[in-house]
Amino acid sequence: MLNLSGISKSFIGVQALSGINLDVRAGEIHALVGENGAGKSTTIKIVAGVYKPDAGQMEFEGKPVQWARPADAKNAGIHVIYQEFVLFPHLTVAENIYLGHERRNRFGFVDHARTRQDASDLLRRLGVDIDPQILVSELTVADQQMVEISKALVHKVKLLILDEPTAVISGREADLLFARLAALKAEGVAILYVSHRLEEIFQIADRVTVFKDGAHVATKDIGDVTRDRLISMMVGRDLKDIFPPKKPKGEPGKVVLKAENVSVEGRVRNAGIEVRAGEITALAGLVGAGRTELAMGIFGGLPMSSGNVWIDGEKVDTITPATAISKGVGFVTEDRKGQGLAMFLDVAANISAANLSAVTRNGLIDRRLENEIARKEIDNYRVVCRGPATSVATMSGGNQQKVIVARWARTSRKVLILDEPTRGVDVGAKTEIYRIMRGLAGEGIAILMISSELPEVVGMSDRVIVMREGAISGELTGANISEEAIMSLATQHPTGKVPIDKVFAQ
């Protein structure tokens, strides 16, 4: 279906692709993997007609092609679902799905009833129940992903490209996506699947291609490669142990964050947690379990309808983000581009953003001091950039995440809440972020980590608190932390904490 031969592309002296090769067959799911900066996104944009290659040849359906514009690729049957959604929040679900392809009556006017019905039928094919009349702005991120996929199904798709499609979904939604991809594969659709989640690659892919530093490393049948070998090809070195050693078992640290009977209207019910100094505590559960909402309630980002919060032993009567920050609590959001970073500012400004008073002199920001601090943190967190003046918008996801962690670690000396800390970053950057997290815990900071990746939860956590449908369903520690035990708690009825012996008795 698609064949790329010797494709090269550079941007202002930076070589993004160096003679890469890639072929995707009809009726297969072909995974494309590599670290951030490996050339995956550039390749996708060449196939989609966004960029023109400097050298090499692209063939589609056996014929040489070079798209003049993205519309040409789409008209040929190529559809890309990017990691950053292309949705209009103030239009309805149906209007978004059929934008530019509106259903019309015999007089040429938009047939809204038919548009809604057809949108409902498409969503039903995906196995999701979304009201086609609701505004996209009112949907969860997972449901927005399903709307993006529905847009692709409007067209006669021959090649479907998905860029990190499960970065914002997991559990049932991911299973539904995989089932739909399997159905499209059976219909002869070629699927190019880009993901950092290696467990997904082995679950659904037929073949896998590895890129590194803009070059083609290898293409393998999925049955001919192991996870360790795949990682080794991606990062150029063996990663025998991705996760740093856990804290040796000993006396538990001091409780520095405590919450009791926390409820967030419609999202969290009577939840209580404790987070201890020097420990990494994970909040686990399926998408929609209320993990982020509980953390946001404790931090003051969402209003609590009931509950009490203590920080370092002191009860906080009215919790707000400003209060939490002033008491040494930081929050690294899962949406680093939309909520975490000031994308139009440089590294130095982003690092100092949470504590401007530290770099302010006589009412003005001291840029020399700000840059000095940034240089120190760039070295400390091994941020790959040209220096403090680098725009964060030009950096890889992993390095952007390091900048956010550096910002909050400077001011949050009690508790650091990390919501999906490695979402959308490559395995090499994940290893660096894990090292940073364990180092911060070693300094006595209490870390509350929210993660949808079970290997990450098991590999990083000293303690795991599991949620289901807005309630705490159980807690795991030490050797009892396993993927099976977490899933058991995440899928059972939430009747309060469950003793460990009952978890394994099920």
- In tens, the pLDDT along 231-246 reads 778 766 554 567 888 8
Average pLDDT on 359-386 reads 88
Query: Mean per-residue pLDDT for 168-179?
Result: 75
Range in 166-170, 182-186, 391-395, 410-414 the model is least confident about? 166-170
Residue 209: beta bridge partners? 32, 219
Determine the pLDDT at residue 494.
43
Which parts of 12-144 are beta strand (E)? 14-24, 29-33, 55-60, 63-65, 78-81
Q: Which of 423, 439, 450 is nearest to 245 (CA)?
A: 439
Is residue 151 within 8 A of residue 96, CB to CB? The reply is yes
* Cα–Cα distance for residue pair 275/258, rounded to 1 Å: 6
Q: Mean pLDDT for the chain?
A: 85
What's the CA gap between 259 and 271, in Å, rounded?
8
* C-alpha atoms less than 13 angstroms from C-alpha of 362 in its C-beta half-sphere: 2
* Euclidean distance between the first and the last CA atom of the chain, given in angstroms as a whole number: 48
Domain boundaries defined on the chain: 2-235, 265-328+412-506, 339-411
Write out the two tokens for 284.
Answer: 């686990």
Do 436 and 405 meet the contact criterion of CB atoms below 8 Å apart? yes
Separation of alpha carbons 12 and 488, rounded Å:
52
In degrees and rounded to multiples of 5, residue 46 shows phi and psi of -70, -45
CATH superfamily of 265-328+412-506: P-loop containing nucleotide triphosphate hydrolases (3.40.50.300)
What's residue 156's pLDDT?
A: 78
Tokens of 504: 């394994």
Going by C-beta distance under 8 Å and a sequence separation of 6 or more, which residues neighbour residue 415?
256, 257, 275, 311, 328, 329, 330, 445, 446, 447, 448
- Looking at residue 36, what is its pLDDT? 67
Confidence of residue 203 (pLDDT cuts 50, 70, 90): very high
Give the model's pLDDT for residue 233.
83
Q: Compute the half-sphere exposure of residue 238: CA atoms within 13 Å on the CB side of its CA.
A: 1
Where is average pLDDT lowest: 64-68, 97-101, 218-222?
97-101
Tokens 């938009």, located at residue: 110
Residue range 2-235 forms a domain whose CATH class is alpha beta
- Span 11-22, average pLDDT: 84
Structure confidence at residue 170 (pLDDT): 66
Rg (CA), the chain: 24
Structure tokens at 104: 């019309």
> What is the tens place of the pLDDT at every residue in 418-470?
998 887 777 777 888 898 899 999 999 999 999 988 888 988 999 999 998 88
pLDDT tens for each residue of 226-280: 887 887 787 665 545 678 888 777 788 899 999 999 999 888 999 999 999 999 9
Would you state the pLDDT for residue 498? 39
| Alpha carbon of residue 173 to chain centroid | 14
CB atoms within 10 A of CB 468: 21
User: What pLDDT shows up at residue 497?
Assistant: 42
User: Which residues have CB under 8 Å from 334's CB, separation 6+?
Assistant: 292, 419, 420, 423, 450
For 20-76, what is each residue's pLDDT tens digit?
999 999 999 999 988 767 888 899 999 999 999 999 999 999 999 989 999 899 889
